[in-house]
Structure 1
Amino acid sequence: MSTRARAGLLLLWLGVLGALLAYVVTTLRVSTDLRNFMPPARTPEQRLLLEEIGEGPGSRLLLLALYGDTPDRLAEVSKRLVPALRGDARFVRALNGDTDLSAVGDDFLPYRYLLSPRFDEHPLDADQLRDELQQRLEDLGSPAGAWIKPLLARDPTLETLRLAEAWAPPAEPERYGDVWFTRDGRSALLLVETQAAGFDPAGQSAALASLQRHLADAATGTQARWEISGPGAFTVAINHQTSTEANRIGRVDSIGFVLLLLLAYRRVGTVMAGALPLVTGGLAGMAALTLLFGGAHGITLAFGFTLIGVAQDYPIHLFSHLREGTSALAVARRLWPTLATGVASTCIAYLAFLASGVDGLEQLAVFTIVGLATAALTTRYGLSRLLGGRPHDAAQSPRLAQLSRRVAALPRPWWLAPLVGGVAIAVCIGAGRTPCWENNLAALTPVAPALVQRDAALRAELGAPDVRYLLVIEGADAETVLRRSEQLDAPLAALQTAGALDGYELPSRYLPSQFTQRARQERLPDATTLRQQLATASQELPFKTDLFAPFLADVEAARTAAPVDAARFSDSPLGLRLRAVLQSRGDHHIGLVSLIGVHQPQALAQLAATPDSAVRLLDLKQASESLVAAYRTRVLWSLAVASVLLVGVVALALRRVGRILRVVLPMALTTLVILACLRAGGVSLTLFHLVALILAAGLGLDYALFFEHVEDDEREQRRTLHAILVCSASTFLVFLLLALSTLPVLRAIGVTVTIGVVSNFILALLLSGRQKVPSRG
């Protein structure tokens, strides 16, 4: 191929890469929601678990602690901060212990007597009104008079205030200066609920940035500092940590890979050319994800690029086998059957994950298959035509010649395979110090244990909902759920009194059923009666007779209006809060009852187990463990199918039993070695360890195939050894960096494959090679 033709091909290739890059940058959406790596829920508990993890009210809560200054100044910062947050559309509510009258909303003021339980036992009559008016006189003479006076004409019973207090958290912290404080009095506490769901990294990032600005403004002129905890804060931290580590690993890996290729091939042009198939495979994989899924999970991309990184082996095999007098295209043709067998077997193995039913694994399969196939094909048909000039012939290296003779002289005892397999199995069986499987979802998060403990401490101080237990009410419609929620109030109150829990939050606390609202309407006096009762109650009190006209109008509106339903309440300031705890599920509705400080879960289980109960106790920990177990079962089946497919492709390509065993045996033994090393190190296996096993098996297959296909020609043996040495060194570098990561997911992948690279190389060398000891001539 002429120089001009190669230049044209390079320009065309770069143009395609530019188009792919532009398409990916403008269309690919990246998610960090771990639910993408969860299997489809098969039970109601599992469905609720997945919804609660990402969308539930608990996932939206941010816990704030202000510290670093005097309690008086911290209280002032808290008081300045809350109004700013309540006026920010990114937040549903902000609570610090003061009464949020804005939560009621002007549109709902007339209906406060339908929403509040205050007059269920004591009717709104002359005696009640007189007591209230006398109390207002005392209030007007107190420091609270300034904010009570504007409410007096419309709400002399202060029902707005009492309703707002009823909507506050059921278990409140200590107070100082009318705001929440820790028990030691050193930190002011706030509870903030975001509009964005907990696993919406973009929404949570915007909310946290806005929160930081409001905090900085409120703390101006003080020495106050703060800490923010909660699922949203953890999501943003994880996202940042993942991005930072991925960039760091990518930079170090790129530098190491370039230096390795320069050392191996002594050509800058070779290094640059070798990157083309790798970049093409990565961009093609991302474009496929955009076309088929509309986006990708961050873990898919992080893991996928490590898999695509294996594609660097393809140009390395080509570079290492180049020689003087033979075109790169001819070398590629001779290598292609062996290379294609390895690529096809790995791709077919990953096809098994398309049937896993897990979005993240399906994405990973598409990304890997498209990326590896593209990298292999562009190496065979593109890169081989770009290479020209005088190639570096690895076989001419005296050091490599000496190493090749030593490798060929190594003993290959027949008992090596059963010995390695037997020892690995014995270690796996004997390693009983830790559970074999990791069922805890929290083990997949990189949040530091100290931060998790601090979050638990803040939750205890604030009385935030329990993150493990949840009561679920089921009904045909919203009204049925609200009625059942009201019926649940008394037994839960009894359990709270008995010490089984510290508090609870019912959906009917925000919106009573229409049945209850109609009953309250019937107890309200008509306009004439109320006017007479008000006149009687205000005798000898210094209030003008027409002062309470707005109050009379509101009561009459509440008495005659249609009860407030869930659809209408959803438009109120607390609408999002209600939608979080009262949800439609197609043909039925559910209500979520948040529980605070659960001390006796068995008492709650007995309550839910009563005959004809429409209430279920959801143990999120148990549900998550069952989900992980179901996930593992799917992955194990996928691994089994992948292994069969992988061996099947090898058998189809090699056909003879002896050759098949020489290729498959190192791969199978390496799988046992990896499992033995992990179990000996006290590691409980996660799904990411299992998925990484397929990658390690694919690497072992490649090494064994090339060792098995080696020719009797001494120089060709050196070139094959050189190629596998460079491949294994570059792969070892990539996965060693991952093994040192602080992210549990990446660390699991890195450790698994790093062990696999070393074991695969040694076992493939000893069990697959057919070299004759070369002469020294």
Structure 2
Amino acid sequence: MTRPGGAATPIWAVLAIIAAAIVAHASYTADLSAFLPRSPTATQQLLIEQLRSGPAARLLLLAIEGGSGAERSQVSAELARRLRADPAFVAVNNGDAAGLERDREFLFAHRYPLSESVTPERFSAAGLRAAITDSLDLLASPAGTLLKPLFTRDPTGEMLGILDTFRAGRLPRAAEGVWSSPDGRHALLMVQVRAAGSDTDAQQAACDTVRRAFASSLGAIPAAARPSVTLLMTGPPVFAVASRALIKGQVMRLSALAALLVAVLLLTVYRSLAALALTLVPVASGALAGVAAVALGFPAVHGITLGFGITLIGEAVDYSVYFFVQQAADWQHSVWPTIRLGMLTSICGLAALLPSAFPGLAQLGLYSVTGLVAAALVTRFVLPAWLPRELAIRDLSGLGARLAGALPHLRRTRIALVPVALLAGAALYAHRGTLSHRELSALSPIPAATQALDEALRIEAGAPDMRYVIVASARDRESALAAAERLAAPLEALVEQGAIGGFESPARYLPPLAVQRARQASLPPPTEIGARLREALSGAPVSASRLEPFVLDLERARSAPPLTRADLEGTSFAAAVDALLVRSADGWSALLPLAAVGSGDLKPGAVAQVRAALAGEPRERTVLLDLKAEADRLYSGYLTEAARLALAGLGAIVLLLVLALRSPGRVARVVAPLALAVLAVAGVLVALGGRLTILHLVGMLLIVAVGSNYALFFDRSSDPPGRASLPLTLASLLVANIATVLTFAVLACSRVPVLAELGSTVAPGTLLALVFSAQLSRPQRPAAPAAAAAAALVSAR
């Protein structure tokens, strides 16, 4: 038989159904969106576009190892063939002849609009003589093999010039007809995925396609050799897929483990399945309300937020524990006011995260505030209505009596808090220069071994790390191409000076219309080319009549329509242009990635030289973007903001306590153990070699939010004896604290850094908050005679 529920139960049921519907239809993600600003600056927007859809975000690096060189080559060729036939990939390069033939045909057919050497001077009689003489000299050398079949159509060597320009970047060495690592152990492929880097589902599908294609490609070699040939794959798409899988798996496993541990604890304490089931109602209600609120307030609920839901188990269970352990002692009048004040302090602290520009923090704040309010209200209004009249739970008064007996001894150790505070403060001061981790890599869930593999394959393949990119923005596509073309000359000068190793440009593969027309105009008409050729070839070992194919090609080039993006279809240059010429928020952007000389990053001096080379371009339209520095700067800004918000939250908590307790001494006794717990945890973290991140700061805020409940109960325990029992209060605090520590200890074991950092901060911090609150508590004051008589009368009734 249950107590009458009034309106609480139907209201709860309606709201639960609505929240469940919202949660069921919400969007969920585990990509990098939680780490990107909600209102980015212009530079941040460029960074976001690169992280989401830039060429670096869509590049897969493949390495085939094992077997013989010939077997790796055969598998590489077959794998490339299969991937080129799949529309999910826009470019597949492995250095084989099949992949280069179409590109060579395209370059030769369009050599005049593409060649940077095409000028009026080059096709004057003197220019023709110089160019043809150079070609004849090359024909007489061992390197003339490639030019020989082309000479009569391209005596000025435009094709070779284009190939030299396109090969200016670092390329892998060739072995057995395909790209190979310097030590010959790997056959290498570079694959560009069509889908945006932010489309994790498409990236996962692409990675799965590569693996299936590789398995099928093993059929190209003898069966005996197949087991020894394996595929290594890395790159941002692999990282994105692995991160999502890791976050999703960890959230599910850790949530289940935390729930199981807390259930075992409560079953041990209550020895009642009914009480355990009722305890989970506020927890489930809070989680449901929290996810629904985030789904309504944000485009998608992030996996990190769901992982944070594990933390709600701890504090939401606290409310139920207080209810069941102390409900016999007139819970609603003696215990609920303290819980309500503790809940309000938690809300004040966590609500400070809501205005964060960091979506991850804002989601955590909204989830926590909504979830805690829902859990507390369900505990206050719904559980009493559902409580069976004859609910038998384990009597914890014996445990409470032992705790009450130990409390005076614990108070006598409070002097030990002085050296604790001094040691923690000294540790923080000693590490003040490296106190915080201000690099975005601090949040990366990618294992170090995986990152090392990516770096090794990039070096082997000569793939640029895409750290430095010049972004030239313009109103339309042609203007962006024109800006890229203007930058080519100063960048070429830096290459010649040895400041940079090279650069890419969309204008290299698709010159602006104005440049193409100028090159067409440089080609002499048929009425002039004959006379110029005869003059240029006077005394040369080749006659003008032998170069008739050259004259015909010149005429075709003069009247040909300009080269367009559609003409690039079917070549690897289409993928290059699509990657380097992108539509931006307010127009188009041309991307010019820079490569360092050798391996590694550009030297600071080289960066300064590049910035100087951009001085002639409009500053607001042409930017040298350092992707790593911008990402770190973005994260550093988040960290600074998180510190400010945490301080604001702490200030709001103190203000609330001042208004509620109306006693400076009581406020100090509530705040002091919380401040000491935060100080001690921070000191230990840095003393052990750690550096504080955003999630450590959030964890410290949670220490205060959760620990305030303990401090408030100990503050209340110093009041004269009344309806509430001190032993039962202490027993409920211990059980609640163990539940909280268990949930956060589980989180500390996570392989996702942001979750592990949160757990490793809050688990010890909440334990210390309980111990310190007990140490700094005051003994219970004796009751006045009239109050004692009233209490005795109530007890007798």
TM-score, structure 2 as length reference: 0.83
Q: Which residue of 2 aligns with 1:198?
A: 197
- Residue in structure 1 matching 2:657, options 650, 654, 657: 650
Separation in 2, partners of 1:570, 1:293: 39
Separation in 2, partners of 1:527, 1:306: 80
Q: Which residue of 1 aligns with 2:363?
A: 363
Judged with a 3 Å threshold, the aligned counterparts in structure 2 of structure 1 residues 529 and 437 are, in CA distance, closer, same or farther, namely same
Per the TM alignment, residue 71 of structure 1 is displaced from its structure 2 partner at its CA by 0.8
What SS class does the counterpart of residue 321 from structure 1 fall into?
Answer: helix
**Amino-acid identity (%):** 33
Judged with a 3 Å threshold, the aligned counterparts in structure 2 of structure 1 residues 485 and 279 are, in CA distance, closer, same or farther, namely same
Q: Which residue of 2 aligns with 1:428?
A: 428
Matched, 1:522 2:531: no
Matched, 1:673 2:680: yes
Judged with a 3 Å threshold, the aligned counterparts in structure 2 of structure 1 residues 14 and 130 are, in CA distance, closer, same or farther, namely farther
Matched, 1:496 2:501: no
Q: Which residue of 2 aligns with 1:288?
A: 293
Separation in 1, partners of 2:727, 2:160: 85
Structure 1 contact 405–773 (Cα < 8 Å) conserved:
no
What SS class does the counterpart of residue 356 from structure 1 fall into?
Answer: coil
- Residue in structure 1 matching 2:612, options 609, 612, 629: 609
Structure 2 contact 472–480 (Cα < 8 Å) conserved:
yes
Judged with a 3 Å threshold, the aligned counterparts in structure 2 of structure 1 residues 308 and 108 are, in CA distance, closer, same or farther, namely farther
Per the TM alignment, residue 619 of structure 1 is displaced from its structure 2 partner at its CA by 3.0
- Residue in structure 2 matching 1:698, options 705, 710, 715: 705
Structure 1 contact 33–297 (Cα < 8 Å) conserved:
no
Q: Which residue of 2 aligns with 1:59?
A: 57
What SS class does the counterpart of residue 410 from structure 1 fall into?
Answer: helix
Structure 1 contact 256–733 (Cα < 8 Å) conserved:
yes
Separation in 1, partners of 2:706, 2:350: 13
* Structure 2 counterpart of 1:73, one-letter code: E
Q: Which residue of 1 aligns with 2:245?
A: 240
What SS class does the counterpart of residue 699 from structure 1 fall into?
Answer: helix
Judged with a 3 Å threshold, the aligned counterparts in structure 2 of structure 1 residues 417 and 652 are, in CA distance, closer, same or farther, namely farther
Structure 1 contact 666–768 (Cα < 8 Å) conserved:
no
Judged with a 3 Å threshold, the aligned counterparts in structure 2 of structure 1 residues 490 and 161 are, in CA distance, closer, same or farther, namely closer
Separation in 2, partners of 1:144, 1:489: 27
Per the TM alignment, residue 94 of structure 1 is displaced from its structure 2 partner at its CA by 0.9
Once the two structures are overlaid, the 10-residue window that deviates more, 74-83 or 485-494, is: 485-494
Once the two structures are overlaid, the 10-residue window that deviates more, 268-277 or 621-630, is: 621-630
Q: Which residue of 2 aligns with 1:761?
A: 770
Per the TM alignment, residue 413 of structure 1 is displaced from its structure 2 partner at its CA by 6.6
Separation in 1, partners of 2:21, 2:303: 19
Q: Which residue of 1 aligns with 2:348?
A: 348
Separation in 1, partners of 2:177, 2:118: 27
Per the TM alignment, residue 514 of structure 1 is displaced from its structure 2 partner at its CA by 1.9
1:452-477 per-residue CA deviation (whole Å, 9 max, x = no partner) reads 22211211121111343333445565
1:706-731 per-residue CA deviation (whole Å, 9 max, x = no partner) reads 22223625971121111111111111
Q: Which residue of 1 aligns with 2:404?
A: 404
Once the two structures are overlaid, the 10-residue window that deviates more, 588-597 or 291-300, is: 588-597
Structure 2 contact 3–386 (Cα < 8 Å) conserved:
no
- Residue in structure 2 matching 1:732, options 725, 732, 741: 741
Judged with a 3 Å threshold, the aligned counterparts in structure 2 of structure 1 residues 572 and 455 are, in CA distance, closer, same or farther, namely closer
Separation in 2, partners of 1:589, 1:83: 33
What SS class does the counterpart of residue 332 from structure 2 fall into?
Answer: helix
Once the two structures are overlaid, the 10-residue window that deviates more, 237-246 or 488-497, is: 488-497
* 1:156-175 aligned within 5 A: 170-175=169-174
- Residue in structure 2 matching 1:623, options 619, 627, 630: 630
What SS class does the counterpart of residue 357 from structure 1 fall into?
Answer: coil
What SS class does the counterpart of residue 202 from structure 1 fall into?
Answer: helix
* 1:376-415 aligned within 5 A: 376-392=376-392, 395=395, 397-412=397-412, 415=415
Matched, 1:217 2:223: no
Separation in 2, partners of 1:352, 1:71: 60
* 1:97-496 aligned within 5 A: 97-98=95-96, 100=99, 113-117=112-116, 119=118, 170-220=169-219, 222=221, 223=226, 224-307=229-312, 309-323=314-328, 331-392=331-392, 395=395, 397-412=397-412, 415=415, 418-431=418-431, 435-473=434-472, 478-496=477-495
Per the TM alignment, residue 253 of structure 1 is displaced from its structure 2 partner at its CA by 1.1
Separation in 2, partners of 1:527, 1:275: 89
Structure 1 contact 352–642 (Cα < 8 Å) conserved:
yes
Judged with a 3 Å threshold, the aligned counterparts in structure 2 of structure 1 residues 610 and 118 are, in CA distance, closer, same or farther, namely closer
Judged with a 3 Å threshold, the aligned counterparts in structure 2 of structure 1 residues 525 and 215 are, in CA distance, closer, same or farther, namely farther
Structure 2 contact 707–770 (Cα < 8 Å) conserved:
yes
Structure 1 contact 20–283 (Cα < 8 Å) conserved:
yes
Once the two structures are overlaid, the 10-residue window that deviates more, 465-474 or 683-692, is: 465-474
Once the two structures are overlaid, the 10-residue window that deviates more, 397-406 or 268-277, is: 397-406
Separation in 2, partners of 1:73, 1:272: 62
Per the TM alignment, residue 618 of structure 1 is displaced from its structure 2 partner at its CA by 3.2
Judged with a 3 Å threshold, the aligned counterparts in structure 2 of structure 1 residues 83 and 116 are, in CA distance, closer, same or farther, namely farther
Per the TM alignment, residue 190 of structure 1 is displaced from its structure 2 partner at its CA by 0.6
Per the TM alignment, residue 422 of structure 1 is displaced from its structure 2 partner at its CA by 3.4
What SS class does the counterpart of residue 592 from structure 2 fall into?
Answer: strand
Separation in 1, partners of 2:134, 2:416: 94
Per the TM alignment, residue 7 of structure 1 is displaced from its structure 2 partner at its CA by 13
- Residue in structure 1 matching 2:72, options 60, 74, 82: 74
What SS class does the counterpart of residue 183 from structure 2 fall into?
Answer: coil
Structure 2 contact 403–731 (Cα < 8 Å) conserved:
no
Structure 2 contact 747–760 (Cα < 8 Å) conserved:
yes
Structure 2 contact 399–727 (Cα < 8 Å) conserved:
no
- Residue in structure 1 matching 2:87, options 89, 109, 113: 89
Per the TM alignment, residue 634 of structure 1 is displaced from its structure 2 partner at its CA by 1.3
Per the TM alignment, residue 703 of structure 1 is displaced from its structure 2 partner at its CA by 0.8
Per the TM alignment, residue 380 of structure 1 is displaced from its structure 2 partner at its CA by 0.9
Separation in 2, partners of 1:108, 1:27: 49
Separation in 1, partners of 2:233, 2:379: 50
Per the TM alignment, residue 36 of structure 1 is displaced from its structure 2 partner at its CA by 3.1
CA RMSD across the alignment: 4.3
- Residue in structure 1 matching 2:695, options 666, 688, 692: 688
What SS class does the counterpart of residue 90 from structure 2 fall into?
Answer: strand
What SS class does the counterpart of residue 709 from structure 1 fall into?
Answer: helix
Q: Which residue of 2 aligns with 1:139?
A: none
* 1:492-641 aligned within 5 A: 492-524=491-523, 558-560=557-559, 563-564=562-563, 574-575=573-574, 577-583=576-582, 590-598=589-597, 600-610=603-613, 612-614=615-617, 616-641=623-648
TM-score, structure 1 as length reference: 0.85
Structure 1 contact 463–596 (Cα < 8 Å) conserved:
no
Judged with a 3 Å threshold, the aligned counterparts in structure 2 of structure 1 residues 611 and 422 are, in CA distance, closer, same or farther, namely same
* Structure 1 counterpart of 2:262, one-letter code: F
Per the TM alignment, residue 81 of structure 1 is displaced from its structure 2 partner at its CA by 1.4
Per the TM alignment, residue 75 of structure 1 is displaced from its structure 2 partner at its CA by 0.9
What SS class does the counterpart of residue 741 from structure 1 fall into?
Answer: coil
What SS class does the counterpart of residue 62 from structure 2 fall into?
Answer: strand
Separation in 1, partners of 2:375, 2:195: 39
Per the TM alignment, residue 749 of structure 1 is displaced from its structure 2 partner at its CA by 0.6
What SS class does the counterpart of residue 63 from structure 1 fall into?
Answer: strand
1:313-339 per-residue CA deviation (whole Å, 9 max, x = no partner) reads 11111111133xx7xxx5235422111
Separation in 2, partners of 1:30, 1:735: 23
Per the TM alignment, residue 262 of structure 1 is displaced from its structure 2 partner at its CA by 0.4
Separation in 1, partners of 2:176, 2:492: 29
Structure 2 contact 65–187 (Cα < 8 Å) conserved:
yes
Separation in 2, partners of 1:398, 1:60: 64
Judged with a 3 Å threshold, the aligned counterparts in structure 2 of structure 1 residues 178 and 705 are, in CA distance, closer, same or farther, namely same
Task: Give 5+ residue unaligned stretches, structure 2.
Answer: 140-144, 784-797
Task: Give 5+ residue unaligned stretches, structure 1.
Answer: 137-141
1:414-438 per-residue CA deviation (whole Å, 9 max, x = no partner) reads 7566554334322321346x71111
Separation in 1, partners of 2:124, 2:732: 90
1:602-632 per-residue CA deviation (whole Å, 9 max, x = no partner) reads 1342242258432654333333333233222
1:7-51 per-residue CA deviation (whole Å, 9 max, x = no partner) reads 99879866764553343122223242156355754463x443333
Judged with a 3 Å threshold, the aligned counterparts in structure 2 of structure 1 residues 412 and 5 are, in CA distance, closer, same or farther, namely same
What SS class does the counterpart of residue 355 from structure 1 fall into?
Answer: coil
Judged with a 3 Å threshold, the aligned counterparts in structure 2 of structure 1 residues 499 and 457 are, in CA distance, closer, same or farther, namely farther
Separation in 1, partners of 2:427, 2:3: 60
